[in-house]
Amino acid sequence: MARSLLASVCGLALLLVPTMGGFAQTQTPAAQQTPAAAQKPADPGSSSTSDAAPADNDSQAPIPFEGGQLTITQPEQDGEKVLAYDGKQLASNYDVFFDKIVKIGDVNVALVDVGDGGNQCGPVKVIVWKPEGGEIQTTTVEQDECGAPPAAISDSAIYFVPYLLPGDEKPALQWSPTSGLTTSGNLIYMPEPGTDWKDIDPSKYDNIIDAFHNEAVYKEAEKLLGKDMPDMATSLLVGGGTEKTASGVFYASGCVPHDCGGNDGFMAVDPAKHKLYFARRGDKPEPDAWPPTATWPADVKEALDKALGSPN
C-alpha cells in the first residue's frame, strides 16, 4: 500500500551528477519506465528465462541460470523461503519471488524479490549474476529499510529510481556487472508547477499525501513544517481517503509503516481559507501540531481528537 501511495504522490526534479547532465523529471518514480526498445532480454537460446514468474508462487520451479539452477524452497512449513544457486544459499525471507532475467552488456542477470511479506513495505531486489569464469555473485538493493525502488533496465545498467515523500531528497542508483552499485544522480521532490488552491480535488486522492502535489499546498506546508515535512508525510503513509467537516475542511489520519499507534499523523486542508493543519502523535500525551492546536477551528480540532484520540 505504501509503495503504490508513494508512486502516486511525487512530482520530481532530477538533478544529475555533472557527467550525466540534467533534466526535469515530470513522471512519478513508478511511472518512469525504460522504453521497450532499450530493454534487452537475454538470448532465448542461453540459460535465461522469460520475464514471467512461475504461476504457482508457493511452489516455484527451478530456474536454469548460467549452467546451474536458481531454486526457491521453503525448508520448514511457515518458515522462511530460501533462494539458492546449485545448493548455495543466496538470500532468505518469508517472501521470495523470481522476477526476471535480463542481459546487461554480455552478462545474464537474474532479479529476485525478497521481503518480509505484508503490504507496508515492498521487497528488496536481489541481483544475481555470474562473472565469466567466476563464482555466483549477489547484490541487494534497498531504500530506507523498506524495499527497493522500481528498476528500469537499459543495455548497460539497471537504474533504481527512489520513492520520494514531500521534502525528500535522495540519490538515484545504478548497477552494472562492471561498476557495481553506484550513485547516478540526485532526486528532489517537487509539486506540480502552477497548481493552486482552486485546483484541489480531494475526491481524486488515494491518500491525503496526494495534496502535497499541489504547489500552493506544498509551499504552505513548507512554511509550517520546515525540515519536519518528510517526517510528517511519513506519519500519514498508512492511511486511506479523506473525510470532510461541515465547514468544508477535508482531513485524514495515518501512521508510519510498522508503527501504527506509536507514530500517527493527521492533516487537514481548508481550500477556501488557504489553511493547513498538521499533527503528529508519538510517545507524548499531546501531539506536536503545526500551527498549535489552540489556534485551530473547533471542527478541525474535533476531527483531530476523533482521528488520533483525545488525551483528555
pLDDT value for 259 = 86
pLDDT interval class at 10 (50, 70, 90): very low
Residue 11: is its pLDDT beyond 90?
A: no
pLDDT (tens digit per residue) in 72-93: 999 998 899 999 999 999 999 9
What is the chain's mean pLDDT, rounded? 83
Same domain, 183 and 205: no
Segments forming the whole domain that contains residue 100: 2-189
| Residue % of the chain over a pLDDT of 70 | 79
Cβ(59)–Cβ(13) below 8 Å: no
Q: All 3 cell numbers of residue 266?
A: 493527521
pLDDT value for 310 = 61
Residue 116: is its pLDDT beyond 60?
A: yes
pLDDT value for 120 = 67
Cα–Cα distance, 93 to 81 (Å, whole number): 5
Same domain, 169 and 230: no
| 41: CB partners within 8 A, 6+ apart | 48, 50, 51, 101, 102, 103
pLDDT interval class at 119 (50, 70, 90): low
Same domain, 239 and 181: no
**DSSP string over 59-104:** SPPPEEETTEEEEEE-SSTTS-EEEEETTEEEEEESEEEEEEEEEE
pLDDT interval class at 54 (50, 70, 90): very low
Cβ(231)–Cβ(280) below 8 Å: yes
Beta strands, E only, the chain:
12-16, 63-65, 68-73, 81-85, 88-93, 95-104, 107-115, 124-129, 137-141, 151-153, 158-160, 169-176, 180-189, 243-244, 250-255, 264-270, 275-281, 288-290
Mean pLDDT of 211-227: 97
Same domain, 176 and 219: no
Of 143, 158, 189, which closes a domain?
A: 189
Same domain, 127 and 213: no
Same domain, 206 and 278: yes
**What distance, in Å, lies between the first and last C-alpha atoms of the chain?**
32
Can you name the residues that pair with 98 across neighbouring β-strands? 112
Residue 143: is its pLDDT beyond 60?
A: yes
Number of domains in the chain: 2
Cα Rg, the chain, nearest whole Å: 23
Phi-psi region of 117 (alpha: psi -120 to 50; beta: other; left: phi over 0): left
Same domain, 28 and 177: yes
Backbone angles phi, psi at 226, to 5 degrees: 55, -130
Amino acid at 22: G
Amino acid at 147: G
Cα torsion angle, 55, 59, 64, 65, sign: positive
Same domain, 179 and 228: no
Same domain, 177 and 216: no
Same domain, 214 and 148: no
Same domain, 57 and 104: yes
Cα–Cα distance, 35 to 41 (Å, whole number): 13
Burial call 30-66: b when 16+ CB within 10 Å, e when fewer: bebeeeeeebeebeeeebbbeeebeeeeeebeebebb
pLDDT (tens digit per residue) in 227-265: 999 999 999 999 888 999 999 999 999 999 878 888 999
Cβ(257)–Cβ(120) below 8 Å: yes
Same domain, 148 and 231: no
**DSSP string over 214-242:** BHHHHHHHHHHHGGGHHHHHHTTSS----
Q: All 3 cell numbers of residue 63?
A: 530456474
Best mean pLDDT range from 40-54, 283-297, 298-312: 283-297
Residue 283: is its pLDDT beyond 50?
A: yes
